[in-house]
Amino acid sequence: MAHLCGLCLALRDDHGQLARMATNYDGLIISALVEAQVPGAEASAKWRRTAGPCPLRGMRTAPVATGEGARLAAAVSLVLASAKMRDHIDDRDGAMARRPVAAAARTVARRWDRAGARTGGGLGFDTAVLVDAVDRQGGIEALARTGTPLLTVTEPTETATAAAFGYTAVLAGRPGNRVPLEEAGRLFGRLAHLLDAVEDQTADAASGAWNPLTATGTGRDEARRLCDDAVHGVRLALKDAEFTDGRLVHLLLAHELRRSVDRAFGGSCAHASGNPYGPGQSPYAPGGPGFPPNNFPPPEPPRRRGLIAGCAVWSGLCCTCQLCCRDHYEDPWNGSRREGWCSNCDCDCCDSCDCCDGCDCCDCGCDCGC
User: Which tens digit of pLDDT belongs to each residue from 75-123?
Assistant: 999 988 888 888 778 777 777 888 888 898 889 888 888 888 899 999 9
Q: How many domains does the chain have?
A: 2
CA–chain centroid gap for 332, Å, is 28
Q: Is the residue at 270 inside a domain?
A: no
Residue 68 lies in a domain: yes
CB 265 within 8 A of CB 348: no
pLDDT confidence of residue 156:
93
| Residue 369 near residue 288, CB atoms below 8 Å | yes
Has residue 318 been placed in a domain? yes
pLDDT tens digits, residue range 213-259?
999 999 999 999 999 999 999 999 999 999 999 999 999 999 999 99
Q: Please compute the mean of the pLDDT values over residues 31-42 and round it to a whole number.
A: 83
Structural domain for 337, as ranges: 309-352
User: Do residues 237 and 183 lie in contact, with contact meaning Cβ atoms separated by under 8 Å?
Assistant: yes
DSSP string computed for 292-358? PP--SPPPPPPPP--HHHHHHHHHHHHHTTHHHHSSEEE-TTT--EEE-TTTTSS--GGGG--SSTT
On whether residue 84 sits in a domain, the answer given is yes
Domain boundary among 99, 125, 151: 125
Asked whether residue 363 is domain-assigned, the answer is: no
pLDDT over 70 percentage in the chain: 72
Label residue 308 by pLDDT band (50, 70, 90). Answer: low
- At 330 the pLDDT is 72
Cα separation of 202 and 214, whole Å? 10
**pLDDT tens string 185-198:** 999 999 999 999 99
- Which of 64, 98, 125 lies at the terminal end of a domain, its last residue? 125
**pTM of the full predicted structure?**
0.71
Distance CA 327, CA 155 (A): 35
DSSP state, residue 289: T
Percent of the chain with pLDDT over 90: 41
329 with 58: CB under 8 angstroms? yes
Q: Is there a domain that residue 116 lies in? A: yes
| Within-domain flag for 142 | no
Residue 211 belongs to some domain of the structure: no
Residue at which a domain ends, from 110, 125, 140: 125
Residue 54 backbone phi and psi in degrees, to 5: -145, 140
For residues 322-332, give the mean pLDDT: 66
The answer on pLDDT for 359 being more than 50 is no
In this prediction, residue 72 has a pLDDT band, given cuts at 50, 70 and 90, of very high
